Structure 1
Amino acid sequence: MRSILPCVGCANCCRSKSSFCRHAASEDAMTPAISIGLGGIAGWRVLQRTEARQIEITAKDAMIQRATGYFRENLTASTTAEDLVGDYRMLQVALGAHGLDGDLANKAFIRKVLESDLGDRSSLVNRLGDKRYLKLAQQFQTRDKAATREDMTQAYIQQQFQKRVGQSDESYRLALNARNELQTFATRASSDRTMWFEVLGNKPLRRVFEGAFGFSPSMGGLSVDRQVEEFTKASERVLGSSSFAKLGTAETVDKLITRFLALSQAQTNTGSNRYSAALSLLTR
């Protein structure tokens, strides 16, 4: 069962369990990986320089063009939630655009998400800790389907690019996702506390913060209020602020990701000298 928040101030069970989908697994096997050739911070800098070109190449991939072309042609104002979940090719793009590929087999659940009352705080989609579901429902329910088609297909291409990067180095995929997520957080009117709850519920984003702060996954065993307290204190200490208006700036995002990648690289290496070398990068 997925975790549902009883209210905006509680995120005890923010993490959703991913379902295994044989279709998705077979497609991943066919997806060409993007290899940078370097690891850690050095590879991240190369990835940043080549990202625009790599996304352009990804968008031109025949498999992705077929998927996005089909989605553009078939998502219309008359498309219902039942229609969408009943069409695997459309659902693949809609979920893939939000990084929710693991839910391809969970059609009944996704239909409930898409049909949720956005204005009712007690509705399913508003009680889910992972707000990617809310974004999915918001986009689907908008009357401007032309905008939805464009937004979802572009997001799908971006997610496919990230997936291909992740096949070579999962830490880079997490870093790309965190950068994009935090840029949107910085423009929102929600309280910082509310957005910290969302970080706890967004597993990929949470992993970057945990890694950068040196937190163990066992942190999840604490009460949610205590987790928020620990994350905000660590953010103040490591990043200089716990406000997402500051955390979403290019400078702070880079600081977060640099620290995350340096510590991730240190954990994959052996020997204290390598660990010290990685840590030294953080002070430069």
Structure 2
Amino acid sequence: MSFQPVLPADGYGGWLLLKRIMPAQEKAFQQAPVNQRDAQYFRDKIGTVTSAEDLVSDRRLLKIALSAFGLEQDINAKAFVKKILSDGVDSPKDLSNRLADKSYRAFAASFGLDGTQLPKTLSEGFADALLDQYYVRQFEAAVGEKNDSFRLALNAEREIGKLATSQASEDTKWFTIMGNKPLRQVFEKSFGLPTGFSNLDIDQQLRVLKSRAQSQFGAYTVSQFRESAKMEKLVRNYIVRDSLTTMNNSPAQNALLLLGHVDKWRSQSLMQATSTKPRKLSAVLS
């Protein structure tokens, strides 16, 4: 990826600085020559796509289409992508409806290439709307190359915001989060959940997530995160806890811990050399 975003610092302070300068960076990202060329190609060609086969046959179009939904990892799985698009979303048996990651359903619904309707690729404004999604996702990916925590935080702000205002039930919203790896990672870290939490029974996970949401944010619902203050707190908790984990696992931190153990051993050795038996606290205070 040719665009390199400016990340002034790591940690929560760096996150606040990034948010402050993001509008200018996003504009620069969109104006990068390679992105301008890809966008123009998409606008010129997407109107010729009227079937799933048309889309998967054009790798350049397919890359933008998949990336707009965070599914770029499937760029080489043409048969799978074609099946997603051809099935549509109307039946519970359709492939996109049977997958835990609902990004596939959104992808299929957005294009409307199942043959039962006029392809949405022919709709006015389709290209620009999808390119807007593509730019957002690609900017996040560029940020993620330098700081993956910031990428996950940006993704969470966008996706949780949409999920919080949806008409789905609260349980469905929580299950959607559990089925979306990036969102799950943010919530588990923000809530202080242990490694291996995802191995628990799914209903037990649901109960724990609701309980943590209630205790930390005042309500058990996902809908509460439509409030900007609660969303900010969720992201702040995630970034701070992730920064602490990274620091605790860093070589520098491990070296400091080792030095601490060495100093402690030296102190204990000195005490043993100068005292035949330890003193009690009562003796020191008397």
What TM-score results when the alignment is normalised by the length of structure 2?
0.81
In the aligned structure 2, how far is the partner of 1:137 from the partner of 1:216?
A: 35
CA shift in 2, pair 1:197/1:69, >3 Å: same
Answer yes or no: is 1:219 the counterpart of 2:197: yes
- If asked which structure has higher relative contact order (CA below 8 Å, sep 6+), I would say 1
Give the match for residue 179 of structure 1. Answer: 157
In structure 1, how many angstroms separate the alpha carbons of the residues matched to 2:192 and 2:39?
Answer: 39
- Structure 2: runs of 5+ lacking an equivalent: 113-118, 257-286
Contact 1:33–1:166 (CA under 8 A) maintained in structure 2: no
Residues 229 and 88 of structure 1: CA distance in aligned 2, closer, same or farther (over 3 Å): same
Query: Counterparts of 1:36 and 1:267 in 2: how far apart (Å)?
Result: 20
State the distance in 1 between where 2:154 and 2:103 align.
16
Q: 2:108 aligns with which of 137, 142, 161?
A: 137
Please say which of residues 220-229 and 136-145 is displaced more in the overlay: 136-145
Residue 241 of structure 2 aligns with an amino acid whose one-letter code is: L
CA contact (8 A) 2:66 2:75 kept: yes
Alpha-carbon deviation of 1:242? 2.6
Runs of 4+ with deviation above 4 angstroms:
none
One-letter amino acid of the structure 2 residue matched with residue 69 of structure 1: Q
Percent of aligned pairs with the same amino acid: 32
Residue 86 of structure 2: aligned partner? 115
Contact 2:190–2:238 (CA under 8 A) maintained in structure 1: yes
CA apart distance, 1:145:
2.9
CA distance in 2, matches of 1:57, 1:117: 36
Q: Residues of 1 paired with 2:175 and 2:45: CA distance?
A: 36
Distance apart, 1:37 and its partner CA: 2.1
The DSSP-based 3-state class of the residue aligned with 2:34 is helix
Give the match for residue 193 of structure 1.
171
RMSD, aligned CA = 1.8
Which of 60, 73, 89 lines up with 2:31 in the alignment?
Answer: 60
* Structure-2 change in CA distance of 1:147 and 1:193 (3 Å): farther
- In 2, the alpha carbon distance for the partners of 1:216 and 1:113 equals 35
Partner of 1:76, secondary structure, is helix
Match of 2:53 in 1: 82
8 Å Cα contact 1:166-1:172 kept in structure 2? yes
Q: What is the deviation of 1:78?
A: 4.6
Equivalent position amino acid for 1:188 in 2: S
Verify the 8 A CA contact 2:88 2:109 in the aligned structure 1: no
- The SS at the match of 2:100 is coil
| 1:167 matched residue in structure 2 | 145
Aligned-pair CA distance for 1:186: 2.2
| Structure of higher CA gyration radius | 2
Give 1:245 shift: 2.1
Deviation at 1:54, TM superposition (A): 0.9
Deviations 1:18-42 (Å, cap 9, x if unpaired)?
Answer: xxxxxxxxxxxx4333231211111
Partner of 2:269: none
Q: Which amino acid aligns with 1:169?
A: N
Question: What is the CA deviation profile of residues 108-152 of structure 1, one whole-angstrom value per residue up to 9, with x for unaligned ones?
Answer: 111111112311122111111101111111111163533331221
TM-superposed CA distance for 1:219, in Å, is 1.3
Which amino acid counterpart does residue 183 of structure 2 have in structure 1? L
Structure 1 residue aligned with 2:245? 267
1:40 pairs with 2:18:
no
Give 1:124's match in structure 2, choosing from 95, 98, 102.
Answer: 95
- Report the CA distance between 1:56 and its aligned residue: 0.6
CA distance in 1, matches of 2:201, 2:40: 45
C-alpha distance in 2 between matches for 1:225 and 1:31: 44
Question: What is the rounded CA distance, in whole Å, between the counterparts of 2:157 and 2:81 in structure 1?
Answer: 26
